[in-house]
Structure formats: C-alpha cells, structure tokens
C-alpha cells in the first residue's frame, strides 16, 4: 500500500498528532508493523481509523495507549508478546469494530471490551479462563481457538449479554464437553480439534437454532439417542475424524439436514434407515447433497442402496477416496 517508509522530519502536520517515526501513515491508516517495537507509539493522529501494530515485541497495553483515538475502527495487535492489558486500555475506543489479539501471551480475555466491537480474534494465546460477562455488549465475538482452555475454564455467564450472537468457534482448546451456557441464539457452532468424547442428551438442548455444527477432529465415540433432535433446524453436521462406530441416531428426523461429514471414523456398517425417513418425500424438506463416509471400515458394496434414497444423486455419497458408483 505504501511505497516507502516516511521520514518523521518531513511529515505533514496531522490532526491531533504526528506519524510515529519509522511508521507509515496515509488516509487515516497508521502502519507500524514489523518494526521491533516494545511499546505502543504515542501521539497517534486522532483521526486514525486503522492502527496496525502486528509482528512487534509489545508486552503490555497500558491505560492511555489508545487515548483520544475515538474514531478508530480496526486495531491489529497480533503476533506480539502481550501478556497484560490494562482494564481501561480500550475504554476510549468507542467506535472500534475489529480487534486482532491473536498470537500473544494473554492468559485470559481482556476485560471491558468496547460495546461497538463486532469481531474479536484472540486465538493462539495462553488463555485458560473466560470469566463471567467477558463478552458483554459485543455483537459478534469470533475465534477463540488454539488456547489451553478447558471446559471448566468457561465460567457460567461468560457469554452473558450476547443475546444476538450467531457464530461461535472454540477450536483446539482442550474442551472435553460441549459448553452448556452459550447463547441460545447461536446458529453456527464450531468446536473442532478438542477432546470431546461423547455428546449427551442435555448438551444441545439449549441450541435449537443451530444450522451448522462442527465437531470434527475430536474423540467422539458416543452420541446419545435423541440428542440431535434438539437441533431441528440443522443443515450441516461435521463429525469427521472422530471415533464413531456407527452412524449417529436420529438423522432421519432432521428434516433440513443436507450435508453430513462422517469420514475418518470407525463405522463398520450402515443400515437402511440411518439417513432417510420412511416416506421421505413428505417428511424430509431437503435432500442430502453430501454424505462423506470414506476412510471408514465399511465398504460401499455392503451398504444397502435404500440407505441413500433421499440423496440428490449417488455421487453425493462418498466412500473411501472415490464417489459411490
């Protein structure tokens, strides 16, 4: 975007501040990435909309680091060494929409996030705890993956105040069960790359609005009968790379389900009623467009053709590394 590094001695005057030495400033963008900075530069132009500080060596965010930056829209702090954030550090950022804190050394979600925040990226930190009301007031927090967070680390009420939240991803976080206190408004939930071993009846009872559920790359062996019926609006279900020995129960009752990923499990047999209801033309509103079963012990020639009577075509069913013929 910028052709050269600006020299502070010949910078034009900027509203409420100057462009920091060695940074690049243009069109309300202040770019200070990859400079080896150990602290946030001061006296930033007050009309800054995007402040890029990624790939530095910043260890702490202090109370007044962003004071006066009331029109800032995006703050990029990823890939630093941030371990401490002052409780009032983001107080003045009343228009902040996007905050990128990934790849730092944070041990918990910073408090007092701006209510204006739409997107929060905080994966690949050292977070072990999500306190009560951590995301209160935020419209759409996203991506809290690759942290040593365990199921007990999500305190009751951690997602309080997020009544309109529709997307949550907590991946690679050592969860052993599905969190039961997420907002019921969630429509897309991704819990991939965790240590979940079973899906029990009460795990999904709160999440009737789910359209897409991602549970791939876990240790799931058991899905209790009736569990999935709590998600009547489910369109897409990811269960690949688990330890299932049979097709999950209740799939025929999910009228809108049209994609299910079961590859790389330990499924040994398929029955005629595993996927499709009887009289599916009347009871199933969406035909399957994709069923993946490759990398399971079951062979396609052992599966009854009636099992796939509610798919769009035979090519929608994948066995081994080929399409079913």
**Model confidence over 287-317: pLDDT tens digits?**
999 999 999 999 888 899 899 999 998 889 9
- What does the pLDDT look like over 28-70, one tens digit per residue? 999 999 999 999 999 899 999 999 999 999 999 999 999 999 9
Which is more confident, 304 or 139?
A: 304
Which is more confident, 185 or 172?
A: 185
**Residue range 252-271: mean pLDDT, rounded:** 96
3-state SS assignment for residue 64: coil
Q: What is the pLDDT of residue 13?
A: 39
Measured in degrees and rounded to the nearest 5, phi and psi for residue 251 equal: -60, -40
Separation of alpha carbons 35 and 190, rounded Å = 35
Is 0.85 topped by the overall pTM?
no
Q: Which of 149-158, 161-170, 173-182, 236-245 has the highest mean pLDDT?
A: 236-245
What's the burial of 12, exposed, middle or buried (CB within 10 Å: 0-12/13-18/19+)? exposed
Q: What pLDDT band is residue 146 in, cutting at 50, 70 and 90?
A: low
**DSSP 8-state secondary structure symbol assigned to residue 70:** T
Residue 202 predicted with pLDDT over 90: yes
**Residue listed under structure tokens 């100057």:** 18
Q: Which token pair is 223?
A: 């899905």
Q: What is the pLDDT of residue 8?
A: 32
Q: What is the pLDDT of residue 324?
A: 44
% of the chain at pLDDT higher than 90:
63
Separation of alpha carbons 195 and 204, rounded Å = 17
**Residue range 147-161: mean pLDDT, rounded:** 71
Separation of alpha carbons 170 and 176, rounded Å = 12
Separation of alpha carbons 17 and 38, rounded Å = 20
CB 274 within 8 A of CB 304: no
């Amino acid at each position: 975007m910028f052709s050269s590094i600006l020299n502070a001695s010949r910078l034009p005057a900027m509203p409420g501040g100057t462009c920091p030495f060695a940074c690049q400033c243009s069109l309300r963008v202040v770019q200070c990435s990859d400079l080896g900075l150990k602290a946030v530069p001061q006296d930033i132009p007050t009309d800054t909309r995007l402040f890029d500080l990624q790939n530095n060596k910043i260890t702490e965010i202090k109370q007044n680091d962003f004071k006066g930056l009331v029109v800032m829209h995006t703050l990029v702090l990823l890939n630093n060494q941030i371990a401490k954030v002052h409780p009032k550090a983001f107080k003045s950022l009343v228009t902040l929409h996007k905050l990128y804190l990934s790849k730092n050394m944070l041990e918990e979600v910073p408090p007092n996030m701006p209510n204006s925040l739409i997107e929060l990226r905080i994966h690949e930190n050292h977070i072990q705890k999500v306190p009560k009301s951590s995301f209160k007031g935020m419209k759409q927090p996203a991506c809290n993956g690759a942290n040593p967070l365990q199921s007990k680390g999500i305190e009751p009420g951690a997602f309080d105040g997020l009544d309109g939240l529709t997307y949550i991803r907590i991946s690679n976080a050592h969860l052993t069960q599905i969190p039961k206190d997420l907002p019921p408004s969630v429509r897309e939930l991704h819990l991939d790359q965790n240590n979940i071993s079973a899906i029990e009846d009460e795990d999904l009872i709160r999440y009737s609005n789910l359209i897409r559920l991602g549970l791939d790359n876990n240790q799931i062996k058991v899905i209790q009968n009736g569990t999935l019926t709590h998600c009547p609006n489910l369109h897409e279900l990811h269960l690949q790379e688990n330890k299932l020995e049979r097709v999950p129960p209740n799939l025929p009752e999910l009228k809108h389900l049209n994609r299910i990923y079961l590859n790389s499990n330990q499924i040994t047999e398929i029955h005629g009623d595993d996927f499709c209801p009887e009289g599916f033309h009347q009871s199933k509103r969406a035909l399957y467009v994709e069923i993946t079963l490759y990398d399971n012990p079951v062979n396609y020639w052992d599966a009854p053709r009636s099992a796939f009577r509610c798919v769009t075509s035979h090519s929608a069913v994948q066995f081994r590394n080929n399409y079913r013929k």
